[in-house]
Structure 1
Amino acid sequence: MEIIKTIGILAIFLTMAGLMFKRILPALIALPSMAILIALVGGVTINDTITHVIGLGSVKLSNAMVVAIFGGMLSILLQKTKVAESFIKKGAELSGDNPWIISIIMMALIVLLFTTLGGLGAIIMVATIVLPILSSVGVGSMTAVGIFLMGVSIGGALNVTNWAVYIQVLGLSIDEVRPFALVMFGIGLTTSIIYVTIQLYRDGHNLNLKSIVVKSLLIVLAAGGAKIGYDYALTAEQQGAIDQVFQMVGLGIKYTVGVAVLGLFAAAIYRVISGKNEQAKEPHWITIFSPIIPLFLILLFDVDFIAAFVFGLLYTFISTYKKGGLNLFIQASFEGAAVVMPAVILMFGIGMLLVAIMGPGGTADVSHYAEGWPVIALLKPLIAHIVPTHPISYILIFTLAAPLALYRGPLNVWGMGYGLAAVLMASGMTGGAIMGLLMATGQIQGISDPTNIQNVWLANEMKVDVQKVLWNTLPYAWVMALLGLITAAYMFV
């Protein structure tokens, strides 16, 4: 009976994924349908399917939904007050007119930020700055989305918060995680430069390939050499001294930015009281900081994402206030919420699928299932039978299986990934090999997965189909996964 249920779950997954791939069934319908069918076929009772999968699942990502709504409100307000238009002009003037250089610079900034940042709120905030600049120099909408997603994924490879999960779940040390993460960073950086070059060529830009090759080599060598030099060439005492200097500099920057933000608010209030905004035909230069202030609050002061967006909305409203400004603010709020509704509605299905596979968690009572949540309990034995023990088989099996990181599949850390990790560890696979597997195939999930909230939001923002983003980025992410698995096999298997 269990075999039939397992086959049924896999059939549902493959069928729904295929229908989404072929664009026969939209993800809006396919994801909740997949969640309900998987739960029922997996042995979840009708009552629990209604209560947990549909009920709790639909609000599981409620925080992300609210963040998306506030992000949409800020985005529309920036457009209606012409702050976004002014920002694009300033960004284009400062960046020049070389789309390849600008794309690489923007990606580098994204990588840098997402070595520490994470979550939809940060993605929306950074995207509000980066996407208009890319568009202003003729970078195509699809290319801009791909650049952003690759930058986030590359930065995530060096995000110590992500490392902490591997260390805790798999019992690894930081010295085991760091070398592999650095290799994945190098693989991602090289692949992303190739992606940018090919995509800009497809967008119709004339590129100097010789110059690009030289610059690309310099970027990769500089990034790799600096990082490796810092991590390995210095003694522990030297690293500690440098870290202390960075902490002192960081503290100084933090207080300086805090004073600057207060100064900007004061200047904005003064302009309203003095009536200077009424006389201005274009937004004053202080309005350019509207999308940046929330980012500073999040990055330097750990302010809650929603609260940071509220501060951003408030600053934009004050710094651009003119007669009728309150009506404009209300209009932007309604329109901003409406703009992100497609993304919010899709989050209902993503949450349902997460609960259907992993269970409701929290305080939900599922004790009436003797072996735990039925779906993950059914899939564990299947996974245990396909554990590779040789480096070649490790590479081949998981390279072929890498797309199972999509659609909350068994290689997706946001789906069944950590359940898979537990099964693999119980089957004798080393923690390092499991980390390498999840981090390598995680590139496909992080860059290409249409069920990622950031993929949905970015595709919605740039008016491209999220399924087309999958097909556009998947070949590059798959190559990254292959190279990562080869590295992991050499290091850990």
Structure 2
Amino acid sequence: MQILQTLGLLLVFLSMAGLMFKRILPALIALPLMALLVAIIGGVTLDDLITHVIGGGATKLSTAMVVAIFGGMLSILLQKTKVAEAFIKKGAELSGDNPWAISVLMYVLIVLLFTTLGGLGAIIMVATIVLPILSSVGVGSMTAVGIFLMGVSIGGALNVTNWAVYVNVLGLEVNEVRPFALVMFGFGFLASLVYITLQLYRDGHNVKLKKIAFRSLVLLLLAGGAKGSYDYLLSASSKELVDAGLQYIGTGLKYTVGLGILWLFAIAIVRLITRANEKATAPHWITVFSPIIPLFLILLFDVDFIAAFVIGLCYTFIATYKPGALNVFIQSCFEGASVVMPAVILMFGIGMLLVAIMGPGGQVALTHYVGGDWPVMALLRPLMADIIPEGPMAYVLVFAVLAPMALYRGPLNVWGMGYGLAAVLLASGMPGGAIMGVLMSTGQIQGISDPTNIQNVWLANEMKVDVQKVLWNTLGYSWILAIAGLIVAAWMFV
């Protein structure tokens, strides 16, 4: 009987993955349906199915849902107040007419914006400004699309809305997510610079590869020397002095950033009292910090996700206040919530599937099951124990080979079956950090290269290029980026 149940569970996973892969069944329907089938085949009682899988599962990711809604509000407010538009245009004015410099600057601005922005509306809004700027200096259509997609995906690594899902699903602390996200951001930034440089060279621009390579080598040598010196100091008797110095620097940075945020608020309040914004034709320079204030609050001060977004909303409202601003703010709240509804609805299904596989957790008694164990977990645990890679080397090799399965709504796609697979891996004993490493690393392939992404389709259509060619143009970079992330994840969590 157990063998038939296990085969039935595998059949459900494979069939649902196939239906999502073929785009026959959307993920927001496939995931709750999979949760119901998994629970029924696994032997979950009807009462537990209704109470825990459906009822408890729908609200399991409630924190992540609320964070997504507040993030959507801030995203729409930045668009309606033209803060994001001014952010990009100011950067273009400062970059001159050098294609490489403009491409890198546009990429940096996209990254910064999408640490907070999200959704197709934000992508279209920013793209309608950025793409003409890139085209005006001779950047090729394919290159422009690749730059934009990399910026959105790498910015997403520091988008705290995404962190909230990892915290809720995998039971991680922000302090566990943050270091790896910063590492992925660093790798992604370097990979993007390589992509921009080589693509511009292929587009026929006079990119001084030797000069760029030499400067990069010097920076790497300096970084290596600094790391070597740091390791030596730590191994010497002055370790306590070094730790104290680093702590002093960190504290000084926090005070500096904290005072800077208070200073920005003070300027915004003074401008509100003096009605300075009523005379302005464009957002004031202080609004440039609107997208990144929530990020700084979470990164440096461990401020709660929702509180950070509320502070960001308040700052943007005050810094852009003029007659009618309250109506714009209210509209942004409503529209922001509606924009993220597809993701929120998807989280209903993810939560149901998590509970169907792992059980309700907490203090819920399961004495009516054999051994007091949730039946689905009891079936899957021995199976996954045999196939989960053991050791850092196997972890990297297995998931590096499987990384392209993040494409086409595959099992490693976080907006497909990714979190369902995460639940199975978590139930089988794999550390939450290691699972996050897999999803965040392979997620770069999905975020940059997946032809089923709405943004990929829209950008390819806008620039008159084939979306499948975008896949092949960027896949090498995103795959290498995924492998680099897996190596770091193996070192940190396995």
TM above 0.5, yes or no, is yes
Instruction: Name the SS of the counterpart of 1:360 in structure 2.
Output: coil
- Between the aligned partners of 1:181 and 1:123, the Cα distance in structure 2 is 12
Aligned position for 1:338:
338
* Matching of residues 256-267 of structure 1 within 5 Å: 256-267=256-267
- Between the aligned partners of 1:266 and 1:487, the Cα distance in structure 2 is 41
**Greater alpha carbon shift after TM alignment, 383-392 vs 35-44:** 383-392
Q: Give 1:418 shift.
A: 3.2
* Matching of residues 288-367 of structure 1 within 5 Å: 288-367=288-367
Aligned position for 2:464:
none
Structure 2 CA distance for partners of 1:81 and 1:55, relative to 1, 3 Å: same
Structure 2 CA distance for partners of 1:410 and 1:307, relative to 1, 3 Å: closer
Instruction: Name the SS of the counterpart of 2:423 in structure 1.
Output: coil
* Matching of residues 123-202 of structure 1 within 5 Å: 123-124=115-116, 132=126, 135=130, 138=134, 140=144, 143-150=147-154
Aligned position for 1:420:
428
Question: Is the Cα–Cα contact under 8 Å of residues 154 and 189 in structure 1 kept in the other structure?
Answer: no
Structure 2 CA distance for partners of 1:343 and 1:398, relative to 1, 3 Å: closer
Equivalent AA in structure 2 for residue 300 of structure 1: L
Aligned position for 1:60:
60
- Between the aligned partners of 1:484 and 1:261, the Cα distance in structure 2 is 32
Structure 2 CA distance for partners of 1:400 and 1:393, relative to 1, 3 Å: same
Structure 2 CA distance for partners of 1:318 and 1:105, relative to 1, 3 Å: closer
Structure 2 CA distance for partners of 1:230 and 1:333, relative to 1, 3 Å: same
- Between the aligned partners of 2:423 and 2:298, the Cα distance in structure 1 is 27
Q: 1:269-319, CA deviations, whole angstroms, 9 ceiling, x for partnerless residues? A: 222222222222222222222223222322232221211111111121122
**Is 2:375 the counterpart of 1:374?**
yes
Aligned position for 2:248:
248
Structure 2 CA distance for partners of 1:221 and 1:357, relative to 1, 3 Å: farther
- Between the aligned partners of 1:337 and 1:245, the Cα distance in structure 2 is 44
447, 465, 470: which is aligned to 2:444? 447
Question: Is the Cα–Cα contact under 8 Å of residues 92 and 106 in structure 2 kept in the other structure?
Answer: no
Equivalent AA in structure 1 for residue 116 of structure 2: I
- Between the aligned partners of 1:393 and 1:262, the Cα distance in structure 2 is 49
Structure 2 CA distance for partners of 1:181 and 1:443, relative to 1, 3 Å: closer
Structure 2 CA distance for partners of 1:316 and 1:366, relative to 1, 3 Å: same
Aligned position for 1:74:
74
Structure 2 CA distance for partners of 1:353 and 1:103, relative to 1, 3 Å: farther
Aligned position for 1:28:
28
Aligned position for 2:91:
91
Structure 2 CA distance for partners of 1:235 and 1:287, relative to 1, 3 Å: same
Structure 2 CA distance for partners of 1:23 and 1:33, relative to 1, 3 Å: same
- Between the aligned partners of 2:195 and 2:242, the Cα distance in structure 1 is 35
Q: 1:208-236, CA deviations, whole angstroms, 9 ceiling, x for partnerless residues? A: 38356556656666555644553467525
Q: Give 1:378 shift.
A: 0.9
Structure 2 CA distance for partners of 1:280 and 1:338, relative to 1, 3 Å: same
**Greater alpha carbon shift after TM alignment, 223-232 vs 348-357:** 223-232
Instruction: Name the SS of the counterpart of 2:363 in structure 1.
Output: coil
Question: Is the Cα–Cα contact under 8 Å of residues 440 and 482 in structure 1 kept in the other structure?
Answer: no
Structure 2 CA distance for partners of 1:92 and 1:481, relative to 1, 3 Å: closer
Question: Is the Cα–Cα contact under 8 Å of residues 396 and 483 in structure 2 kept in the other structure?
Answer: yes
RMSD between superposed Cα atoms in Å = 5.1
Question: Is the Cα–Cα contact under 8 Å of residues 70 and 336 in structure 2 kept in the other structure?
Answer: yes
Q: 1:425-478, CA deviations, whole angstroms, 9 ceiling, x for partnerless residues? A: xxxxxxxxx99986874555443468xxxx9xx96799679x999998776565
Question: Is the Cα–Cα contact under 8 Å of residues 59 and 351 in structure 1 kept in the other structure?
Answer: yes
**Greater alpha carbon shift after TM alignment, 144-153 vs 6-15:** 144-153
Aligned position for 1:14:
14
Q: 1:383-433, CA deviations, whole angstroms, 9 ceiling, x for partnerless residues? A: 3444778999888766555645446879988422233346xxxxxxxxxxx
Aligned position for 1:425:
none
Q: 1:182-227, CA deviations, whole angstroms, 9 ceiling, x for partnerless residues? A: 999998777665555677789x785738356556656666555644
Q: Give 1:106 shift.
A: 8.5
Instruction: Name the SS of the counterpart of 2:361 in structure 1.
Output: coil
Structure 2 CA distance for partners of 1:9 and 1:222, relative to 1, 3 Å: farther
Equivalent AA in structure 2 for residue 378 of structure 1: L
Equivalent AA in structure 2 for residue 418 of structure 1: L
Q: TM-score, normalised by structure 1?
A: 0.71
Structure 2 CA distance for partners of 1:333 and 1:324, relative to 1, 3 Å: same
Aligned position for 2:139:
none
Equivalent AA in structure 2 for residue 208 of structure 1: V
Question: Is the Cα–Cα contact under 8 Å of residues 43 and 375 in structure 1 kept in the other structure?
Answer: yes
Question: Is the Cα–Cα contact under 8 Å of residues 9 and 38 in structure 1 kept in the other structure?
Answer: yes
Q: Give 1:13 shift.
A: 0.9
Structure 2 CA distance for partners of 1:18 and 1:49, relative to 1, 3 Å: same
Question: Is the Cα–Cα contact under 8 Å of residues 87 and 109 in structure 2 kept in the other structure?
Answer: no
Q: TM-score, normalised by structure 2?
A: 0.71
- Between the aligned partners of 2:472 and 2:375, the Cα distance in structure 1 is 33
- Between the aligned partners of 1:198 and 1:337, the Cα distance in structure 2 is 40
- Between the aligned partners of 1:30 and 1:145, the Cα distance in structure 2 is 27
Equivalent AA in structure 1 for residue 365 of structure 2: D
Structure 2 gaps of 5+ residues are 135-142, 406-410, 461-466
Structure 1 gaps of 5+ residues are 114-120, 169-173, 423-433
Question: Is the Cα–Cα contact under 8 Å of residues 413 and 442 in structure 1 kept in the other structure?
Answer: no
**Greater alpha carbon shift after TM alignment, 244-253 vs 7-16:** 244-253
**Greater alpha carbon shift after TM alignment, 258-267 vs 399-408:** 399-408
